[in-house]
Amino acid sequence: MPDDPSSEASRDHSLSLQWQMLAGFAVGLVAGLAAYMGARDAPWVNFTVTYVTGPVGQVFLRLLFMLVIPLLVSALIVGIAEMGEIRALKRVGLRTLIYTLIVSGIAVLLSLLLVDLLQPGAGIDPAQARAMLDQNGSGAQAILNRGGDAPTGLAAVLAIVPDNIVAAMAGNDILAVMVFALFFGIGLVLVQTEQSKLLLSAMEGVFEVTMRLMGLVIRLAPIAIACFMFNLAAQFGWDLLIRLSAYVGVVLLTLAIQMFGVYSLLIAFVARRSPIRFFAAVQEASVMAFATASSNATLPTAIRVAEEKLHLPRRIARFVLTIGATANQNGTAMFEGITVLFLAQFFGVDLSIGQQVMVMLVCILGGVGTAGVPAGSLPVVAMILGMVGVPPESIGLVLGVDRLLDMCRTSLNVTGDIVAATVISAGEKEEHEAAA
């Protein structure tokens, strides 16, 4: 499976954009710290935040929120439907779906537990955090909260299944919308007619158009990040850097536990292989993923490693790895969960168990639905932040360090895809032997 020139150009553009985002982060941080130390209460600082950096950031977020519903619906429907697109591999597709949801659930649960235990976002002055929340109450957060107060208890559980999908979309009930998309995708797997294939083709068109528009919006990210960082640094000062370092440490620790803990257990007890030999065999694909920060760019290497070094059945390896490059994204799901809870802690927003469960479910489905999109987790994280009462523009705090984290979670994603192919191949082999 050779690389094509368009994918090479896309990777070059993505790399360039990452450096631009890092530059925007640095410019906004330095300017904000300068304002914090020298003229925090000066009229020009308030004027800049109110009439320049604030509105620019709000426009960027509004553009993201405008696209997030069609992106999530189309991506999740296509991702699920593709798992059953090949009739001969329908059983493999169903197992891939179940495996993806279970292992993604483990990944997100692990993330939430570690963030709650280590509290990387704690330590900020509550009065400052509350002032920031009040300042942004009329911005993008108001857009997200227009659906009214969130239900609690049994009502929250029932609300996961929408009785009116149009109302759920209008109210930005993201979890209900994603559950609808999940069921719709399963329906397309079960119904194999010419009309259903046309419908799937239409959803693929919506996905491609939305991805293209999202790519255009993401080009504004460096400017928006500079504005976000100026506002945050001017408000919180040096505490910002301390909390940000703790956040990076927690993300790397969680990814390492998933990689060498959870995956090792799956390989040893489910696939019945040696974890040491497995990681030695897949190191080429893992390093490639780390260097490129792209699951799609690493796909040819991952397929070759699975077939030549792990000796997995060709039809299963190619099917699972191709689907996994866009749907089995444990690293993305973990990043989303950790980021939401970290920023909630940073702004002193105490999330209930029910809210954390909601975050977990959205991250699991988001890991299936948004993979493969440049900065695809950005609108999902921003949407969840608004739902739990945290300023969505605070996403700019973590995007400046996202290049390193993106490389690490992409390595986890690719390794996880190969783990999935190995586990599912082992299950198929056992069933074949039992039938024989």
- Residue 126 near residue 277 (C-beta atoms within 8 A): no
Q: Residue 244's domain is classified under what CATH number? A: 1.10.3860
Contacts of 98 (CB under 8 A, 6+ apart): none
DSSP state of 51: I
The secondary structure element, H or E, covering residue 173 is none
Amino acid at residue number 423: V
- Tell me the angle at which helices 314-327 and 295-308 cross, rounded to the nearest 10 degrees: 160
pLDDT at 41: 66
Task: Centre a 10 Å sphere on the Cβ of residue 256 and count the other Cβ atoms it contains.
Answer: 12
HSE, CB side, 13 Å, CA atoms: give it for residue 370: 29
Phi first, then psi: give them for residue 321, nearest 5 degrees. -70, -35
160: helix, strand or coil = coil
What global pTM score does this model have?
0.76
Residues in the chain: 436
d(CA 169, CA 173): 6
For the chain of 436 residues, list the mean pLDDT of each consecutive stretch of 10: 46 64 85 80 79 85 83 79 58 82 90 92 70 52 46 63 84 78 84 88 90 84 86 80 90 95 95 94 91 79 92 86 77 88 88 84 72 59 80 77 82 93 82 55
d(CA 393, CA 233): 13
pLDDT at 368: 65
99: helix, strand or coil = helix
Domain range enclosing 19:
5-435
- Residue 141 near residue 364 (C-beta atoms within 8 A): no
pLDDT at 402: 76
- Residue 56 near residue 223 (C-beta atoms within 8 A): yes
Amino acid at residue number 235: Q
Closest by CA position to 409, among listed 278, 286, 268 = 286
Q: How many domains does the chain divide into? A: 1
- Residue 171 near residue 147 (C-beta atoms within 8 A): yes
For residue 26, what are its two tokens? 């640095």
